Amino acid sequence: MKAMMLTGIRQMEMGDIPEPDLINPTDVKIRMTAVGICGSDIHYYTQGQIGSQKVQYPFCVGHEGAGVVIEVGKSVNRVRPGDLIAIDPAMPCGECDQCLAGRHHTCRKLRFLGCPGQAEGCLMEYIVMPEKCCFPLTGSLTADHGSISEPLAIGVYAVRKSGGVRNMNIGIFGYGPIGMSVMLAAKAQSVHSISVTDIIDERLSIAKKEGSVLNCNPLKEDIVEKIRQVEPLGLDLAFECCGKQEAFDQAIELLKPGGRLVVVGIPEFDRWSMNVEVTRRREISLQFIRRQVNCVEDTIEMMKNGSVRIDNMITHRFPFERTGEAFDLVADYRDGVMKAMIDF
Ligand SMILES: [Zn+2]
Ligand SMILES: [Zn+2]
């Protein structure tokens, strides 16, 4: 079968590898239908690593997948051949202290699709996953909903970990697919107002369509000043969604006393720094986010019942053979790209 393999920095090739077989009675074999390209895939493509996680070439990335079940193990009962499903890329061990505490996302022996040293990704024709990772897409839900459920679940989780956004004035610093996912999840929870910042104007116009009260570009204006004009008392909550020190600083600067900063972005550097005076005097709380846990089902339900609409998320589509072009487009932030989708 065909698999899209990373072969070096900014290099990828279509390879030919054996089709995977069912091994455990709980395994499900899936024919991939759609895979979304994630910022983390791009980190591996352009840097060959995220922090200490380094790619050994050749390696297949991709973890935002949807597909059709083609074969199931003896004891599988939550999906059947022919079902269209969303795939949760996280395969926790189920036995360690973290799993037993319900923190499957920080499992000590976690295997995550497309994560170096853990598991190959899903930019290939067929994959095999445990049935726990398979979520049927029913009614009007499509493969796009399935694949978007992965980043969207991170937004749902970040909002959950923020302590709740009802009636709050929030800021989203960095409006890529994760920033947008935070916004969609916050809107579904009756947030009061959302200010958005990003350095790409096309992304800011998507934020506007989604109903933000203020959109500003830090390359063109003093965003702290601008957000202060509409939120003179400061923000209740800020979400850092781009992994940039400047965004982190602006977010803290804009929080009101008792406010909370939720850090979702993945930086390319090793250490955050922060203003001691401001964080201490205003008693700012910090919450870091590691992907998500227990949010996939709710996320799918929110798309199904219409409380979240993903219509403005996917801006580009490429056939599987042209995955490399899609990666270059996303890596260079060209053409106002939000989410690029690979179709099989
Ligand atoms: Zn992702
Ligand atoms: Zn575990």
At 51 the pLDDT is 87
Instruction: Point out the ligand nearest to the CA of residue 40.
Output: 1
Distance CA 170, CA 192 (A): 8
At 224 the pLDDT is 97
CA dihedral 141, 127, 156, 244 (to 10 degrees): -130
Query: How many angstroms separate the alpha carbon of residue 94 from the centre of ligand 2?
Result: 5
Question: What are the boundaries of each domain within the chain?
Answer: 2-136+313-343, 153-288
CATH topology (fold) of 153-288: Rossmann fold (3.40.50)
Instruction: Point out the ligand nearest to the CA of residue 106.
Output: 2
Instruction: Point out the ligand nearest to the CA of residue 89.
Output: 1
Query: How many angstroms separate the alpha carbon of residue 293 from the centre of ligand 2?
Result: 12
Distance CA 228, CA 163 (A): 23
B/e letters for 240-269, b = 16+ CB within 10 Å, e = fewer, are bbbbbeebbbbbbbbbbeebbbbbbbebee
Query: How many angstroms separate the alpha carbon of residue 142 from the centre of ligand 1?
Result: 18
Query: How many angstroms separate the alpha carbon of residue 290 from the centre of ligand 2?
Result: 15
Query: How many angstroms separate the alpha carbon of residue 283 from the centre of ligand 1?
Result: 32
In angstroms, how far is CA 275 from the centroid of its own chain? 28
3-state helix, strand, coil in the chain (%, to 5): 30, 30, 40
At 329 the pLDDT is 97
Query: How many angstroms separate the alpha carbon of residue 289 from the centre of ligand 2?
Result: 18
Instruction: Point out the ligand nearest to the CA of residue 147.
Output: 1
Strands (E), 37-185: 49-50, 53-54, 64-72, 84-87, 90-91, 111-112, 126-130, 134-136, 169-173
Distance CA 339, CA 318 (A): 11
DSSP state of 191: B
H-state helical runs in 73-195? 97-100, 143-161, 177-187
Closest CA to 321 of 60, 15, 8: 15
Q: How far is CA 327 from CA 10, 14, 69, 154, 319, in A?
A: 9, 14, 27, 21, 12
- Cβ-based neighbours of 305, under 8 Å, separated by 6 or more: none
Of 3.90.180.10, 3.40.50.920, 2.40.30.10, 2.40.160.40, the CATH number of 2-136+313-343 is 3.90.180.10
Query: How many angstroms separate the alpha carbon of residue 63 from the centre of ligand 1?
Result: 6
Phi-psi region of 288 (alpha: psi -120 to 50; beta: other; left: phi over 0): beta
Closest CA to 332 of 123, 42, 59: 42
Query: How many angstroms separate the alpha carbon of residue 53 from the centre of ligand 2?
Result: 18
Query: How many angstroms separate the alpha carbon of residue 213 from the centre of ligand 1?
Result: 27
Instruction: Point out the ligand nearest to the CA of residue 181.
Output: 1
Which residues of the chain fall short of a pLDDT of 70?
A: none
Query: How many angstroms separate the alpha carbon of residue 294 from the centre of ligand 2?
Result: 14
Instruction: Point out the ligand nearest to the CA of residue 92.
Output: 2
Q: Which residues surround ligand 1, an ion (CB under 5 A)?
A: 38, 64
At 280 the pLDDT is 98
Instruction: Point out the ligand nearest to the CA of residue 97.
Output: 2
Tokens representing 154 are 């991170």
Task: Tell me the per-residue pLDDT of 10-52, one tens digit each, with 9 for 90 and over.
Answer: 999 999 999 999 999 999 999 999 999 999 999 999 999 998 8
Instruction: Point out the ligand nearest to the CA of residue 112.
Output: 1
Instruction: Point out the ligand nearest to the CA of residue 96.
Output: 2
Please name the residue that has the structure tokens 């360690």: 96
